[in-house]
Chains A and B, each alone.
Chain A
Protein backbone atom coordinates (compact mmCIF):
# COMPACT_ATOMS: atom_id res chain seq x y z
CA UNK A 1 0.00 0.00 0.00
CA UNK A 2 1.90 3.02 -1.29
CA UNK A 3 -0.19 5.54 0.62
CA UNK A 4 0.44 3.96 4.03
CA UNK A 5 3.79 5.72 4.43
CA UNK A 6 2.14 9.10 3.81
CA UNK A 7 -0.59 8.29 6.32
CA UNK A 8 2.08 7.44 8.91
CA UNK A 9 4.08 10.61 8.14
CA UNK A 10 0.86 12.62 8.55
CA UNK A 11 0.08 10.94 11.89
CA UNK A 12 3.61 11.66 13.10
CA UNK A 13 3.32 15.29 11.94
CA UNK A 14 0.00 15.71 13.76
CA UNK A 15 1.39 14.27 17.00
CA UNK A 16 4.53 16.45 16.85
CA UNK A 17 2.57 19.64 16.22
CA UNK A 18 0.19 18.98 19.13
CA UNK A 19 2.94 17.94 21.55
CA UNK A 20 5.07 20.94 20.57
CA UNK A 21 2.06 23.23 21.18
CA UNK A 22 2.60 24.71 17.70
CA UNK A 23 -1.14 24.23 17.13
CA UNK A 24 -1.92 26.41 20.14
CA UNK A 25 -3.71 29.67 19.32
CA UNK A 26 -2.07 31.14 22.42
CA UNK A 27 1.46 30.22 21.33
CA UNK A 28 0.94 32.03 18.02
CA UNK A 29 -0.33 35.15 19.79
CA UNK A 30 2.61 34.97 22.22
CA UNK A 31 5.05 34.66 19.31
CA UNK A 32 3.72 37.75 17.55
CA UNK A 33 3.89 39.69 20.82
CA UNK A 34 7.53 38.62 21.33
CA UNK A 35 6.61 37.28 24.76
CA UNK A 36 8.10 33.82 24.39
CA UNK A 37 11.00 32.11 22.67
CA UNK A 38 9.06 28.83 22.27
CA UNK A 39 7.81 29.19 18.67
CA UNK A 40 11.04 30.82 17.52
CA UNK A 41 12.92 27.88 19.02
CA UNK A 42 10.74 25.37 17.16
CA UNK A 43 10.96 27.15 13.79
CA UNK A 44 14.65 27.95 14.26
CA UNK A 45 15.74 24.40 15.11
CA UNK A 46 13.53 23.00 12.34
CA UNK A 47 15.23 25.26 9.79
CA UNK A 48 18.72 24.56 11.20
CA UNK A 49 18.17 20.78 10.98
CA UNK A 50 16.59 21.23 7.54
CA UNK A 51 19.63 23.15 6.28
CA UNK A 52 22.01 20.46 7.60
CA UNK A 53 19.92 17.69 6.01
CA UNK A 54 19.75 19.44 2.64
CA UNK A 55 23.46 20.31 2.63
CA UNK A 56 24.36 16.68 3.36
CA UNK A 57 22.00 15.40 0.67
CA UNK A 58 23.43 17.97 -1.77
CA UNK A 59 26.75 16.17 -1.47
CA UNK A 60 24.98 13.03 -2.63
CA UNK A 61 25.36 11.23 0.71
CA UNK A 62 21.59 10.81 1.12
CA UNK A 63 19.52 9.74 -1.89
CA UNK A 64 15.76 9.39 -2.31
CA UNK A 65 14.12 5.96 -1.98
CA UNK A 66 14.43 5.65 -5.76
CA UNK A 67 18.09 6.63 -5.71
CA UNK A 68 17.63 10.15 -7.08
CA UNK A 69 19.05 13.42 -5.72
CA UNK A 70 17.12 15.04 -2.89
CA UNK A 71 16.15 18.67 -3.40
CA UNK A 72 13.42 21.21 -2.68
CA UNK A 73 11.91 22.58 -5.92
CA UNK A 74 12.92 26.19 -6.59
CA UNK A 75 10.29 28.88 -6.06
CA UNK A 76 9.98 31.27 -8.99
CA UNK A 77 11.61 34.68 -8.62
CA UNK A 78 9.51 37.58 -7.50
CA UNK A 79 8.90 40.08 -4.76
CA UNK A 80 5.40 41.53 -4.79
CA UNK A 81 3.48 38.28 -4.61
CA UNK A 82 5.62 36.99 -1.75
CA UNK A 83 5.47 40.13 0.35
CA UNK A 84 1.80 40.98 -0.30
CA UNK A 85 0.56 37.38 -0.20
CA UNK A 86 2.71 36.70 2.84
CA UNK A 87 1.33 39.71 4.72
CA UNK A 88 -2.27 38.68 3.97
CA UNK A 89 -1.46 35.16 5.18
CA UNK A 90 0.17 36.55 8.34
CA UNK A 91 -2.92 38.59 9.21
CA UNK A 92 -5.03 35.44 9.06
CA UNK A 93 -2.44 33.26 10.82
CA UNK A 94 -2.41 35.54 13.88
CA UNK A 95 -6.19 36.05 13.89
CA UNK A 96 -7.24 32.40 13.87
CA UNK A 97 -4.00 31.20 15.47
CA UNK A 98 -3.45 28.45 12.93
CA UNK A 99 -1.73 27.96 9.58
CA UNK A 100 -2.84 25.29 7.07
CA UNK A 101 -1.24 22.24 8.76
CA UNK A 102 -2.67 22.97 12.22
CA UNK A 103 -6.11 23.64 10.68
CA UNK A 104 -6.46 19.92 9.99
CA UNK A 105 -4.68 18.80 13.15
CA UNK A 106 -6.95 20.93 15.34
CA UNK A 107 -9.96 19.24 13.74
CA UNK A 108 -8.48 15.92 14.88
CA UNK A 109 -8.05 17.22 18.43
CA UNK A 110 -11.79 17.92 18.57
CA UNK A 111 -11.98 21.62 17.65
CA UNK A 112 -14.79 20.92 15.21
CA UNK A 113 -15.70 24.57 14.59
CA UNK A 114 -12.36 24.83 12.76
CA UNK A 115 -14.24 23.33 9.82
CA UNK A 116 -15.62 26.85 9.25
CA UNK A 117 -12.06 28.19 8.98
CA UNK A 118 -11.04 25.33 6.65
CA UNK A 119 -14.07 25.99 4.40
CA UNK A 120 -13.25 29.72 4.36
CA UNK A 121 -9.60 28.93 3.54
CA UNK A 122 -10.68 26.76 0.60
CA UNK A 123 -12.93 29.62 -0.54
CA UNK A 124 -10.04 32.08 -0.14
CA UNK A 125 -7.84 29.86 -2.31
CA UNK A 126 -10.65 29.70 -4.87
CA UNK A 127 -11.04 33.50 -4.91
CA UNK A 128 -7.30 33.85 -5.48
CA UNK A 129 -7.44 31.45 -8.43
CA UNK A 130 -10.28 33.40 -10.01
CA UNK A 131 -8.83 36.93 -9.63
CA UNK A 132 -5.16 35.90 -9.93
CA UNK A 133 -4.58 37.70 -13.24
CA UNK A 134 -5.74 41.01 -11.78
CA UNK A 135 -3.23 40.98 -8.91
CA UNK A 136 0.36 42.27 -8.89
CA UNK A 137 2.87 39.42 -8.90
Chain B
Protein backbone atom coordinates (compact mmCIF):
# COMPACT_ATOMS: atom_id res chain seq x y z
CA UNK B 1 0.00 0.00 0.00
CA UNK B 2 2.89 2.31 0.81
CA UNK B 3 3.98 2.00 -2.85
CA UNK B 4 0.65 3.35 -3.99
CA UNK B 5 0.36 6.13 -1.41
CA UNK B 6 3.84 7.52 -2.07
CA UNK B 7 4.46 9.50 -5.28
CA UNK B 8 5.16 7.16 -8.18
CA UNK B 9 8.61 7.13 -9.78
CA UNK B 10 8.94 8.32 -13.39
CA UNK B 11 9.75 4.86 -14.76
CA UNK B 12 6.35 3.61 -13.55
CA UNK B 13 4.36 6.72 -14.53
CA UNK B 14 5.71 7.07 -18.10
CA UNK B 15 4.75 3.55 -19.23
CA UNK B 16 1.29 3.97 -17.61
CA UNK B 17 0.71 7.15 -19.66
CA UNK B 18 1.68 5.16 -22.76
CA UNK B 19 -0.91 2.59 -21.65
CA UNK B 20 -3.61 5.30 -21.67
CA UNK B 21 -2.67 6.12 -25.27
CA UNK B 22 -2.61 2.42 -26.21
CA UNK B 23 -6.06 1.82 -24.68
CA UNK B 24 -7.58 4.74 -26.59
CA UNK B 25 -5.98 3.53 -29.85
CA UNK B 26 -7.33 0.06 -29.13
CA UNK B 27 -10.82 1.58 -28.99
CA UNK B 28 -10.03 3.43 -32.25
CA UNK B 29 -9.68 6.85 -30.65
CA UNK B 30 -6.75 9.26 -30.41
CA UNK B 31 -5.08 10.49 -27.22
CA UNK B 32 -5.27 14.29 -27.31
CA UNK B 33 -6.65 16.31 -24.43
CA UNK B 34 -6.72 19.74 -26.09
CA UNK B 35 -9.42 18.81 -28.65
CA UNK B 36 -11.90 19.10 -25.78
CA UNK B 37 -11.40 22.85 -25.71
CA UNK B 38 -12.46 23.01 -29.36
CA UNK B 39 -15.40 20.70 -28.67
CA UNK B 40 -16.56 22.95 -25.83
CA UNK B 41 -16.36 25.96 -28.16
CA UNK B 42 -18.54 24.10 -30.66
CA UNK B 43 -21.07 23.16 -27.97
CA UNK B 44 -21.18 26.79 -26.87
CA UNK B 45 -22.19 27.88 -30.38
CA UNK B 46 -18.79 29.07 -31.70
CA UNK B 47 -19.79 27.72 -35.13
CA UNK B 48 -21.74 30.94 -35.59
CA UNK B 49 -18.47 32.87 -35.61
CA UNK B 50 -16.12 30.52 -37.45
CA UNK B 51 -16.41 27.47 -39.68
CA UNK B 52 -13.52 26.03 -37.64
CA UNK B 53 -16.11 25.10 -35.01
CA UNK B 54 -18.67 23.70 -37.44
CA UNK B 55 -18.35 19.98 -36.90
CA UNK B 56 -20.46 17.30 -35.36
CA UNK B 57 -19.30 17.58 -31.76
CA UNK B 58 -21.45 14.65 -30.72
CA UNK B 59 -18.84 12.41 -32.34
CA UNK B 60 -16.36 13.87 -29.86
CA UNK B 61 -18.49 13.26 -26.78
CA UNK B 62 -16.39 10.19 -25.86
CA UNK B 63 -13.52 12.65 -25.29
CA UNK B 64 -15.62 14.71 -22.89
CA UNK B 65 -16.28 11.49 -20.98
CA UNK B 66 -12.49 11.02 -20.70
CA UNK B 67 -12.34 14.56 -19.24
CA UNK B 68 -15.05 13.72 -16.72
CA UNK B 69 -13.08 10.59 -15.80
CA UNK B 70 -9.87 12.60 -15.43
CA UNK B 71 -11.61 14.94 -12.96
CA UNK B 72 -12.87 11.94 -10.95
CA UNK B 73 -9.41 10.37 -11.17
CA UNK B 74 -7.84 13.51 -9.74
CA UNK B 75 -10.34 13.44 -6.86
CA UNK B 76 -9.72 9.76 -6.10
CA UNK B 77 -5.93 10.16 -6.29
CA UNK B 78 -5.70 12.97 -3.71
CA UNK B 79 -8.41 11.70 -1.36
CA UNK B 80 -7.81 7.96 -1.31
CA UNK B 81 -4.42 7.19 -2.88
CA UNK B 82 -2.09 9.78 -1.35
CA UNK B 83 -0.28 10.44 1.88
CA UNK B 84 1.14 13.76 3.05
CA UNK B 85 4.46 13.34 1.27
CA UNK B 86 5.94 16.52 -0.16
CA UNK B 87 7.10 16.73 -3.78
CA UNK B 88 10.79 15.88 -3.76
CA UNK B 89 12.01 18.99 -5.59
CA UNK B 90 15.59 20.01 -6.19
CA UNK B 91 16.65 22.17 -3.18
CA UNK B 92 17.89 24.71 -5.72
CA UNK B 93 14.37 24.97 -7.17
CA UNK B 94 12.96 25.54 -3.69
CA UNK B 95 15.49 28.31 -2.93
CA UNK B 96 14.89 29.96 -6.28
CA UNK B 97 11.12 29.92 -5.87
CA UNK B 98 11.47 31.28 -2.35
CA UNK B 99 13.39 34.27 -3.66
CA UNK B 100 10.47 34.90 -6.03
CA UNK B 101 7.98 34.81 -3.16
CA UNK B 102 6.82 31.16 -3.27
CA UNK B 103 6.83 29.52 0.16
CA UNK B 104 6.26 25.81 0.95
CA UNK B 105 7.28 24.63 -2.51
CA UNK B 106 6.03 21.12 -3.21
CA UNK B 107 3.66 20.94 -0.22
CA UNK B 108 0.70 21.08 -2.65
CA UNK B 109 0.32 20.48 -6.38
CA UNK B 110 0.08 24.18 -7.18
CA UNK B 111 1.35 27.25 -5.26
CA UNK B 112 -1.35 28.82 -3.09
CA UNK B 113 0.31 32.18 -3.88
CA UNK B 114 -1.28 31.83 -7.33
CA UNK B 115 -4.24 29.50 -6.99
CA UNK B 116 -5.82 30.15 -3.57
CA UNK B 117 -9.07 32.07 -3.73
CA UNK B 118 -7.44 34.77 -1.60
CA UNK B 119 -4.70 35.14 -4.21
CA UNK B 120 -7.33 36.00 -6.79
CA UNK B 121 -8.09 39.30 -5.10
CA UNK B 122 -4.85 40.48 -6.65
CA UNK B 123 -5.37 41.69 -10.21
CA UNK B 124 -1.87 40.53 -11.09
CA UNK B 125 -2.56 36.93 -10.07
CA UNK B 126 -5.90 36.95 -11.85
CA UNK B 127 -4.20 38.20 -15.02
CA UNK B 128 -1.54 35.49 -14.77
CA UNK B 129 -4.21 32.76 -14.72
CA UNK B 130 -6.19 34.37 -17.55
CA UNK B 131 -3.18 35.08 -19.78
CA UNK B 132 -1.73 31.62 -19.07
CA UNK B 133 -5.03 30.02 -20.03
CA UNK B 134 -5.35 32.11 -23.19
CA UNK B 135 -1.82 31.18 -24.29
CA UNK B 136 -2.47 27.48 -23.67
CA UNK B 137 -5.81 27.46 -25.48
CA UNK B 138 -4.67 29.59 -28.41
CA UNK B 139 -1.26 27.93 -28.79
CA UNK B 140 -2.51 24.36 -28.59
CA UNK B 141 -5.05 24.88 -31.36
CA UNK B 142 -2.58 26.85 -33.49
CA UNK B 143 -0.05 24.01 -33.11
CA UNK B 144 -2.84 21.43 -33.59
CA UNK B 145 -2.16 19.56 -30.35
CA UNK B 146 -0.80 19.64 -26.81
CA UNK B 147 1.45 17.48 -24.68
CA UNK B 148 -0.69 14.36 -25.06
CA UNK B 149 -1.37 14.83 -28.77
CA UNK B 150 2.11 15.88 -29.91
CA UNK B 151 4.64 14.86 -27.25
CA UNK B 152 3.10 11.44 -26.50
CA UNK B 153 0.97 10.37 -29.52
CA UNK B 154 2.92 12.32 -32.16
CA UNK B 155 6.45 11.45 -31.07
CA UNK B 156 5.49 7.81 -30.38
CA UNK B 157 4.33 7.57 -33.99
CA UNK B 158 7.55 9.28 -35.17
CA UNK B 159 5.91 12.30 -36.78
CA UNK B 160 8.02 15.28 -37.77
CA UNK B 161 5.28 17.92 -37.22
CA UNK B 162 5.02 16.76 -33.60
CA UNK B 163 8.76 17.05 -33.12
CA UNK B 164 8.60 20.65 -34.38
CA UNK B 165 5.64 21.37 -32.07
CA UNK B 166 7.44 19.88 -29.04
CA UNK B 167 10.54 21.96 -29.82
CA UNK B 168 8.15 24.94 -29.84
CA UNK B 169 6.69 23.87 -26.45
CA UNK B 170 10.19 23.94 -25.00
CA UNK B 171 11.20 27.24 -26.61
CA UNK B 172 8.12 28.84 -25.01
CA UNK B 173 8.53 27.06 -21.67
CA UNK B 174 12.22 27.91 -21.39
CA UNK B 175 11.59 31.58 -22.22
CA UNK B 176 8.83 31.74 -19.60
CA UNK B 177 10.61 29.93 -16.76
CA UNK B 178 14.05 31.44 -17.34
CA UNK B 179 13.48 34.93 -18.70
CA UNK B 180 9.92 36.08 -17.92
CA UNK B 181 9.44 34.52 -14.45
CA UNK B 182 12.11 36.72 -12.80
CA UNK B 183 10.35 39.75 -14.29
CA UNK B 184 6.85 38.78 -13.10
CA UNK B 185 7.74 37.44 -9.67
CA UNK B 186 10.16 39.86 -8.09
Main secondary structure of the interface of B (DSSP, over half): helix
Is the CB–CB distance between B13 and A16 below 8 Å? yes
Main secondary structure of the interface of A (DSSP, over half): helix
Which of B11, B74, B146 is the one whose CB lies under 8 Å from A108? B74
B21-72 with Cβ < 8 A to chain A: 21-30, 33-34, 36-38, 40-41, 44, 46, 49-50, 52-53, 61-63, 65-72
A124 nearest in chain B by CB position: B137
A39-68 with Cβ < 8 A to chain B: 39-51, 53-54, 57, 62, 64-66, 68
A65-101 with Cβ < 8 A to chain B: 65-66, 68, 70-79, 81-101
B157-186 with Cβ < 8 A to chain A: 157-162, 164-178, 180-181
Taking each of A73, A101, A118, A120, which has the highest tally of chain B beta carbons within 10 Å of its own beta carbon? Answer: A101
Chain B contact residues (Cβ within 8 angstroms of A): what range? 35 or more
B9, chain A: closest CB distance, angstroms:
8
Chain B residues closer than 8 Å to A62, beta-carbon distance: 26
**In whole angstroms, what is the CA distance A24 to B66 when docked?**
20
| With known contacts A46-B18, A75-B144, A84-B168, A108–B176 Cβ distance under 8 A | no
Is the CB–CB distance between A96 and B18 below 8 Å? no
Is the CB–CB distance between A14 and B73 below 8 Å? yes
**In whole angstroms, what is the CA distance A7 to B114 when docked?**
30
Is the CB–CB distance between B96 and A33 below 8 Å? yes
**In whole angstroms, what is the CA distance A6 to B67 when docked?**
9
Is the CB–CB distance between B135 and A91 below 8 Å? yes
Chain A contact residues (Cβ within 8 angstroms of B): what range? 35 or more
Which of B4, B70, B151 is the one whose CB lies under 8 Å from A47? B151
Chain B residues closer than 8 Å to A36, beta-carbon distance: 89-90, 93
Is the CB–CB distance between B26 and A42 below 8 Å? no
| With known contacts A13-B73, A29-B97, A53-B156, A42–B139 Cβ distance under 8 A | no
Is the CB–CB distance between A122 and B13 below 8 Å? no
| With known contacts A32-B178, A64-B28, A76-B161, A20–B8 Cβ distance under 8 A | yes
Is the CB–CB distance between B157 and A81 below 8 Å? no
Chain A residues closer than 8 Å to B117, beta-carbon distance: 112-113
Is the CB–CB distance between B90 and A35 below 8 Å? yes
Is the CB–CB distance between A128 and B141 below 8 Å? yes
Is the CB–CB distance between A106 and B26 below 8 Å? no
Chain B residues closer than 8 Å to A108, beta-carbon distance: 70-75, 78
Chain A residues closer than 8 Å to B178, beta-carbon distance: 32-33
Is the CB–CB distance between B74 and A93 below 8 Å? no
Which of B21, B27, B34, B174 is the one whose CB lies under 8 Å from A64? B27
| With known contacts A14-B69, A90-B172, A100–B164 Cβ distance under 8 A | no
